[in-house]
Chains A and B, each alone.
Chain A
Amino acid sequence: MKTERLELAGTVDSLGPAAAFVERLAEEAGLSTKGAYGLQLAVDELVTNVVTHAYAEQGRTGPVILEAELDDASLRVAIEDTGEPYDPTGQPPPDDLDKPLEERKIGGLGIFLVLKSVDWVSYERRGDRNRVVLEMKRQVDRDG
């Protein structure tokens, strides 16, 4: 099993480096274009959430730590932050995706996209950190 770690500042400038990290690992794992894009989207949404909700809105600063594990079966990417406890897997889905645009609330969409884009999402509180793990199976037919 191969592991890699990338520690970034919890700021908007870290989105690009995080995306590049995931893109490289997805390629190494041989994910399909669709799978690689889905993982990149999920990481992007989670890092965006950390930067805005865990840090900026709370007047805090902190790191975003990415940890990747690649084995024969899957690629897992963990995202850690030191914000208040927050479990994205426990959030209700937006209840208004089927409503006309005019009646829809703005928000809630990021986590919905995370859950839709990867094969598995898990959350744990580890010490003073939130740790969200995203998993993509390496051998899955995602129709392109």
Chain B
Amino acid sequence: MMEMTKTEVRGVPVIVLSGRLDMAGAQEIDLKFTAQTSAEKVSTVVDLSGVSFVGSMGIRMFIRNTKALALSGHKLVLAGAKNEVAEVLRVAGVTDAIELFDTVDAALDSLTT
């Protein structure tokens, strides 16, 4: 089961995800996640600290949303992934294109300075 909440920190939207981002998890939140990033069309931080697992379907969701935001010159950045999740993102080649920060604060710093 995936949960998604949205907050705003320092004027930047932060999407907080928790649970297993496998195919079932991606199906659960994809519409809501995509609606969120496409509604505001501003750079957005995704807090992954509560995510225990990310599979290819979750990775595709991040890639698709990053591409969509890039069209308006904005970014999707990831933050707080646990070691194994960060490793999968690296192996998948995602971290070349989507920045991954240790903490939400560091991600916010990159967007606001």
With contacts A34-B87, A101-B63, A144-B83 known, is A45 near B98, CB below 8 A? Answer: no
Instruction: Count CB-based A-B contacts (< 8 Å).
Output: 73
Task: Let me know if B42 is at the binding interface, CB within 8 A.
Answer: no
Q: How far is the CB of A13 from chain B (nearest CB, A)?
A: 7
A73 CA / B23 CA spacing, docked (Å): 31
Point out the residue from B27, B60, B70, B93 that lies within 8 Å of A106, measured CB to CB: B60
B interface: dominant SS: helix
Contact B88 A97 (CB under 8 A): no
CB-defined contacts of B98 to chain A, threshold 8 Å? 101
Task: Let me know if B64 is at the binding interface, CB within 8 A.
Answer: yes
Contact B23 A33 (CB under 8 A): no
Task: Let me know if B12 is at the binding interface, CB within 8 A.
Answer: no
Q: Which of A60-68, A80-88, A109-117, A125-133 contacts B (4 or more CB under 8 A)?
A: A109-117
Task: Let me know if A19 is at the binding interface, CB within 8 A.
Answer: yes
Task: Let me know if B56 is at the binding interface, CB within 8 A.
Answer: yes
A interface: dominant SS: helix
CB-defined contacts of B88 to chain A, threshold 8 Å? 37, 41, 113, 117
CB-defined contacts of A45 to chain B, threshold 8 Å? 55-56
A48 CA / B26 CA spacing, docked (Å): 12
Task: Let me know if A15 is at the binding interface, CB within 8 A.
Answer: yes
Point out the residue from B22, B57, B67 that lies within 8 Å of A19, measured CB to CB: B22
A98 CA / B97 CA spacing, docked (Å): 10
Task: Let me know if B106 is at the binding interface, CB within 8 A.
Answer: no
Q: How far is the CB of A110 from chain B (nearest CB, A)?
A: 4
A100 CA / B64 CA spacing, docked (Å): 13
Point out the residue from B23, B60, B67, B84 that lies within 8 Å of A15, measured CB to CB: B23
Question: Please, what's the 1-or-0 string for A41-68, where 1 marks a CB less than 8 Å from any CB in chain B?
Answer: 1001100100110000000000000000
> Beyond the given A34-B87, A100-B97, could you list 8 further A-B residue pairs with CB under 8 A, ordered by the A residue number?
A15-B24, A33-B84, A34-B84, A41-B88, A48-B56, A101-B96, A109-B56, A113-B56
CB pairs A–B below 8 angstroms (7 shown): A33-B84, A41-B88, A101-B63, A102-B70, A104-B63, A106-B60, A117-B91
| 8 A-B pairs with least C-beta separation | A101-B97, A97-B93, A37-B84, A110-B56, A109-B56, A48-B23, A12-B24, A44-B55
Task: Give residues in B with beta carbon < 8 Å to A.
Answer: 20, 22-24, 27, 53, 55-57, 59-60, 63-64, 66-67, 70, 83-84, 87-88, 91-93, 96-98
